[in-house]
Amino acid sequence: MCLLPVFLSLAIPARATENGASVFPVGVETVMTGMYPHPGKTMFYEYTAFYEANQTVNGKGVSAAPEFSLRVVATAFKISNTWHYKFLGGNLNSNIAIPAIYQQLHVQPGKFEKYAIGNVDIVPLGLVYHREITHWYCEADAFMPGTGYSQSDVLNIGQHNLAVGPVCGITVLPNHGKTEISARNSYFFNGPDKNTHFHSGNEYFTEFNLAQAINKRAALALNGFIYQQTTDDKQNLVSFLNGNRGRDLGIGPQLRINLPHGGMAVKYLRDTLVENKPKGNAFWFQIAVPFPIHGGGH
């Protein structure tokens, strides 16, 4: 089950990439990460997320705002197709993901809310491999700027810059498939925001999952991510707040359920070791089914 860009962009003074956010919802790619459709197959994915944070922290890990409350509800849809065409030993894959996001923010001087389309993720071509118990892929993701930016609005949805980067994911299924070991590595190069003249730093993160089947239909897992901003934020080409580099370690439980066609998962992630970002909790529901339903699955 693979992911897409979803989450949050705050409308407070910029922190750890512009407004404390990323074009990608870090932590979402922890469910059968390396499993893309087999050649000639198409999968449909739906993701629902709820994120809540009652503080945003600075570079010392302490609260940076006296009044802060953030609530985000996001729904995203993705279509992924693996072609019969081969290249470098793998099959070509294309996918697109579109998120719709509602945000509610409480900061001085009040309460603000907005609903809009976030950063659309487009992957024209990637490479997908399946070898016995090992499944992996490599691709280049491109994220479009979020929609509906308004300079007069306190709250805007999505990051309003282009971003690109290499992504590689892998899933290994030993123990006759009863055990799952998954990981995904990503590095994103952020372009400048032409609306605000802010240039977010580049980002590296690893998402991971270790799962064990508890019966034929379900598996329990420990899932999480490690996030580190690698270059400085800049405002008008000048380093912003000593670089303002974000950091986060998210971790929590996950339940995966196998369906007759595809699968679903529910999971929880808690932010820890946070610097220059909001600190909160994320709840996820994800489902993947073949498209059309009689076309088979992974």
Q: What is the mean pLDDT of residues 178-207?
A: 95
pLDDT at 151 over 90: no
pLDDT at 110 over 90: no
Return the residue matching tokens 């929609």.
Answer: 147
Return the residue matching tokens 């409308």.
Answer: 11
* Percent of residues, the chain, with pLDDT higher than 90: 74
Q: Which pLDDT value is given to residue 294?
A: 57
pLDDT at 9 over 70: no
Whether this model's pTM surpasses 0.85 = yes
pLDDT at 1 over 50: no
Cα–Cα distance for residue pair 134/181, rounded to 1 Å: 10
Cα–Cα distance for residue pair 9/249, rounded to 1 Å: 19
pLDDT at 233 over 70: yes
Tokens of 221: 């897992």
Q: Which pLDDT value is given to residue 298?
A: 44
